[in-house]
Structure 1
Amino acid sequence: EELMLEPGLKVLEIGTGSGYHAAVVSRAILPGGRITTVEVVRELAERAKKALASISAHNVEVVIGDGSVGYPNNAPYDRIYYTCAAPGVPDTVMDQLGEGGILLSVEGPAHSTQRLIRYERESGGEITKTPLTYCVFVPLVGKMGY
């Protein structure tokens, strides 16, 4: 809901896991939308690729790599979201968010109460930050993780 998904969007997911979130988002952005999902754990990424192929989620690209730095190869994105908690959003990820884009992150200490944060890039590049609800997610792994 907070991502305001619609057909045709280009989305980056940081943390593929089982591929469930990518599958849901892939349907919400059809027709014309594409989602890139990045997973640092090779075995999880391979399993997610198979699961997504089994449901014909052809608009999903699963990348094995360090999602903590985003995935600049397909940037800019209309939407970026984390499926794990991060210490914050690094500039390397924020710079991949296009004008009018929305980024959802979970921020706070690992293994403790965290906060869902919504960022929006306004025209002209200004970023607005809106804290939302409290939550607890698994910690982000990688260069910019915990």
Structure 2
Amino acid sequence: MADFSQQRDAMVRHQLAARGLHDPRVLDAMGRVPREPFVGASMQAFAYDDGPLPIDAGQTISQPYIVARMVELARIAPGDRVLEIGAGSGYAAAVMAAIAARVFTIDRIERLAALARGRFESLGYDNIDVRTGDGTQGWPEAAPFDAIVASAGGPGVPDVLKGQLAIGGRLVMPVGASLHAQQLVRVTRVEAARFETEAKDHVAFVPLIGVFGWGDEAAY
């Protein structure tokens, strides 16, 4: 099997640290988690390129910088319980699992959830739970979460997800009126009924499909 360690180290230095990402836990996780097992065999040579790549079911694996940026914004720390909306390839969940105590990840596409689960098992990640379902409704029986990260863009932050945050918990997701142009926001649950919202980077994500997101027609 090819050794991608040099490409991974270069990615951390040039794509992440050089662009201002500085959380040592995030940089360490990005440097330890292999990206190549999370893309198809034909894409492995491009696994550490500075951009998104196609994966199964017509979806994409996000640019490494975006993955690291969202994890850093979520301020994920050891001991945290994290919910991810949009498992995709499973790469972002693996990065978060390298920091957090437990990660719960949901994808609406059964094939993606199954492939991600298989990758976690083969790579030895035993602190990630995967399910297929409507991520906009969260994972109520596993709540509260110290962090929630949505890897798809919705028209707004669903109240049901905010309600699954622990006090002091952070939610990071792309939000925007357009299906393919959004702004990252970070929502912090300050008190039981009080939330603070910060607007961050302009981004472009696939649509968040579900009861509290875009309708099914947005997927086509």
Is the TM value for this pair above 0.5?
A: yes
Equivalent residue number for residue 27 of structure 1: 98
> Would you say 1:52 and 2:120 are equivalent positions?
yes
SS at match of 2:77: coil
SS at match of 2:196: strand
Give distance in 2, aligned partners of 1:57 and 1:26.
Answer: 8
SS at match of 1:86: coil
User: Which amino acid in 1 is paired with 2:129?
Assistant: E
Q: Is the 8 A contact 2:180 2:206 kept in 1?
A: no
User: Which amino acid in 1 is paired with 2:168?
Assistant: G
> Would you say 1:79 and 2:147 are equivalent positions?
yes
Of 110, 116, 136, which residue of structure 1 is paired with 2:204?
136
Q: Could you say which structure has the larger radius of gyration?
A: 2
Of 68, 72, 95, which residue of structure 1 is paired with 2:136?
68
TM-score (norm 1): 0.94
User: Which amino acid in 1 is paired with 2:137?
Assistant: V
More off after superposition, 120-129 vs 15-24: 120-129
Equivalent residue number for residue 36 of structure 1: 104
Q: Is the 8 A contact 1:110 1:139 kept in 2?
A: no
> Would you say 1:115 and 2:183 are equivalent positions?
yes
Give distance in 1, aligned partners of 2:92 and 2:103.
Answer: 10
RMSD over aligned Cα atoms: 1.1
**Long gaps (5+) in structure 2:** 1-71, 215-220
Give distance in 2, aligned partners of 1:87 and 1:11.
Answer: 22
> Would you say 1:99 and 2:167 are equivalent positions?
yes
Give distance in 1, aligned partners of 2:180 and 2:136.
Answer: 19
Instruction: Number of aligned residue pairs: give it.
Output: 143
Q: Which structure is richer in relative contact order (CA contacts within 8 A, separation 6 or more)?
A: 1
Of Structure 1 and Structure 2, the greater strand share is in 1
More off after superposition, 71-80 vs 111-120: 111-120
Give distance in 2, aligned partners of 1:96 and 1:62.
Answer: 17
> Would you say 1:16 and 2:84 are equivalent positions?
no
User: Which amino acid in 2 is paired with 1:4?
Assistant: R
Q: CA deviation at 1:145?
A: 1.8
SS at match of 2:160: helix
1:61-114 alpha-carbon deviations (Å, 9 max, x no partner)? 001111011110100000001000011111111100110100001001344321
1:108-128 alpha-carbon deviations (Å, 9 max, x no partner)? 134432100001111454100
SS at match of 2:152: strand
> Would you say 1:89 and 2:177 are equivalent positions?
no
Q: Is the 8 A contact 1:12 1:79 kept in 2?
A: yes
More off after superposition, 16-25 vs 102-111: 102-111
1:15-71 alpha-carbon deviations (Å, 9 max, x no partner)? 000100000000011xxx111001110000000000111111100000111101111
